[in-house]
Amino acid sequence: MLQIIKCNAGHCDELSVLFNDYRIFYGQNSDMESACGFISERLTKNDSAIFTAFEENIMCGFVQLYPSFSSVAMKRTYYLNDLFVNVSFRRKGIAEALINKSIGFAKENSAARITLCTQMENDAAKNLYSKCGFTKNTAYDYFNFTI
Residue 121 included in any domain:
yes
Residue 57: inside a domain? yes
Give a yes or no: residue 115 inside a domain: yes
CA pair distance 144, 51, nearest whole angstrom: 27
pLDDT of residue 101: 98
Give a yes or no: residue 67 inside a domain: yes
Angle 106-26-31 from CA coordinates, rounded to 5° = 100
What's the pLDDT score for residue 61? 97
In 3D space, the residue among 63, 40, 39 whose CA is nearest the CA of residue 53 turns out to be: 63
Indicate the number of domains in the chain.
Answer: 1
Express each pLDDT in 2-35 by its tens digit: 999 999 999 999 999 999 999 999 999 999 999 9
83 membership: H or E segment, kind and range:
strand 75-85
Residue type at 78 in one-letter notation: Y
Residue 140 domain-assigned (yes or no): no
Whether 136 is covered by a domain: the verdict is: no
Q: State the residue range of the domain holding 109.
A: 2-131
Pair type for strands 58-70 and 2-6: unpaired
Residue 145: inside a domain, yes or no?
no
| Residues β-bridged to residue 79 | 66, 115
CATH number at residue 96: 3.40.630.30
- Cα torsion at 133, 84, 53, 94 (round to 10°)? 50
Report the predicted TM-score, pTM, of the whole model to 2 decimal places.
0.93
In a domain, 138, yes or no: no
Segment 90-101 mean pLDDT: 96
Q: Cα-flanking dihedrals φ and ψ of residue 58, to 5°?
A: -110, 125
Report the mean per-residue pLDDT for the chain: 95
Which amino acid makes up residue 3?
Q
pLDDT (tens digit per residue) in 115-138: 999 888 989 999 999 999 999 988
